[in-house]
Chain A
Amino acid sequence: MEKHSGYMQALRCRECGREYPLTATHVCEFDFGPLEVVYDYNRIKKSLTREVIQSRPKSMWRYRELLPVANGPTIGLEVGFTPLIKADRLAKRLGVREVWIKNDAVNYPTLSFKDRVVSVALSRARELGFDTVACASTGNLANSVAANAAAAGLKAYVFIPTDLESGKIINSLIYGANVIGIKGHYDEVNRLCAEIAGKFDWAFVNVNMRPYYAEGSKSMGYEIVEQLNWKVPKHTVVCMASGSLLTKIHKSYQEFIQLGLAPGTDYKIHGAQATGCSPISTAQKAGLDFFKPVKPDTIAKSLAIGTPADGFYALKVMKDTGGAAEDVSDDELRESIRLLAETEGIFAETAGGVTVGVARKLIASGAIPEEDSLVLCITGNGLKTLDAVSGHVGQPREIRPSLREFEALVAAEARPIKA
């Protein structure tokens, strides 16, 4: 046990409330409920002020007292503080007063919000004495673990299903990680990885390090509030895979209000899924507080979790805040990727298309009133999911190297179309 644990107090079971020491463990031994980090908010309140935060470098670690490391970050010091962009052209197209885009498509170093959770998990892993880190992933998480481990000099094992696209495999191999392909169905791969995590004394970022790892998502919420001049937005739309990001955005808003860093206000957090994998949004729309597992079938691979670990808690957050949930088809999400790109110059991955598409539906249905303001959380970069939009964005027009031909093309386009 460490002598010094920073502002953390314990790990606590989200089901029964039993407390555990701050080690690499993730479920309650009594009821197997998930564990969550508990902080000493009284101490944090004395040292964390707006002025202190603003005096620090622009990264997610400017809120370090609220992140689960004992001695400060050592990995991913540049991660976070991504742009919050006022998206007027998109707002006009969506028919709402004000839209802000929180753009983690440009997060450092691997262009997704996973860099936040991984930098926390790896910093904590190093504090706990691990020299090897691991994860099982089909994309963004693998890239981030491989890159951040390489920069920190940690040994990394990345487990992937064998049928993954080559581009995604290269994005992890390039960093020198041990990439292991597992043959078999998703369920078998999932169970084997849980077994490996239990057997080897490694820091498995989303298994035994999960209580710390998940807390990294809160930094996205802190940044949104600070960038909105210390105001919690009225509406936030968040895509849901496991549902963890949505619950942590809520926790970040609650913490800032509790610490007096933002004034208390009513806010709604809305959840977005792809129709082909929508266990949480289906349950929310049916008014249920539990979800039924599904077999994913969508191009939004980064959201394709049929049995979401935090689904129950995400449903509770939406219910408590008065938020709604919706889902969009693959065609609708592709169209929304284009809409975001054409209006704001932001190329988001498929999950971003889901978020924009769902926001459009929630505005149309009145769940988000048109006179309100909303924040859309964009979690990854479109360059990672080119296959999803390939064949749906048109073709370049070809001409011979002739100025006359180009002028003819421009003139043809300028000609008014006859009714």
Chain B
Amino acid sequence: MAARTQKAKPVRRTRPVAPTRRRLWLMYPPRLIREPLIWRLSGKFHIVTNIRQASVTDEIGIVCLELQGGQADVKASIHWLEKQGVNVEPVEISVVES
């Protein structure tokens, strides 16, 4: 008996999205230094976080962070961090000069 072949259902494909990579400096004001914001960020958005440098004093917390993910997720992550009160700059910092 010939094997019954079942016609495969067409799989709905989404257009592959190239991951976006952003290299950022995060600057935390003193009131946010104890908050686990990067952990919360990973839970909230589908992104990969990668810390490259960090420095914490009583006055400021500075984290050099690489974010990787879909463009919308990366953009939303940056927006969420800023909403919490973190200053977010590209790793180049002052791209716009006089």
Using CB atoms and an 8 Å cutoff, list the residues of chain A in contact with chain B: 15, 26-27, 30-33, 135-141, 159, 161, 186-187, 189-191, 193-195, 197, 206-207, 210, 241-242, 288, 290, 292-293, 301-305, 307-309
Contact = CB atoms under 8 A, between A and B. Distances in A.
Nearest to A139: B98
B98 A304 contact: yes
Contact of A242 (B22, B59, B78, B97): B97
A141 B98 contact: yes
Given A288-B59, A290-B59, A161 B96 contact: yes
Contacts of A141: 97-98
Contacts of A161: 96
Interface residues of B, number: 27
B91 A32 contact: yes
B59 A27 contact: no
B94 A190 contact: yes
Contacts of A27: 23, 91-92
A365 B98 CA distance: 30
B66 to A, nearest CB: 8
B32 interface: no
B5 interface: no
Contacts of A307: 25, 27, 87, 89, 93-94
Nearest to B55: A290
A193 B91 contact: no
Nearest to B93: A309
A308 B96 contact: no
Nearest to B30: A292
Interface string B48-75: 0000110101011010101000000000
Contact of A136 (B23, B64, B95): B95
A371 B83 CA distance: 52
B19 interface: no
Contacts of A137: 96-98
Contacts of B25: 307
A242 B64 contact: no
12 contacts: A27-B23, A30-B52, A137-B96, A137-B97, A187-B89, A191-B88, A197-B92, A206-B97, A307-B25, A307-B27, A307-B94, A308-B93
B53 A32 contact: yes
Nearest to B97: A141
A186 to B, nearest CB: 7
A308 B94 contact: yes
A381 to B, nearest CB: 13
A140 B95 contact: no
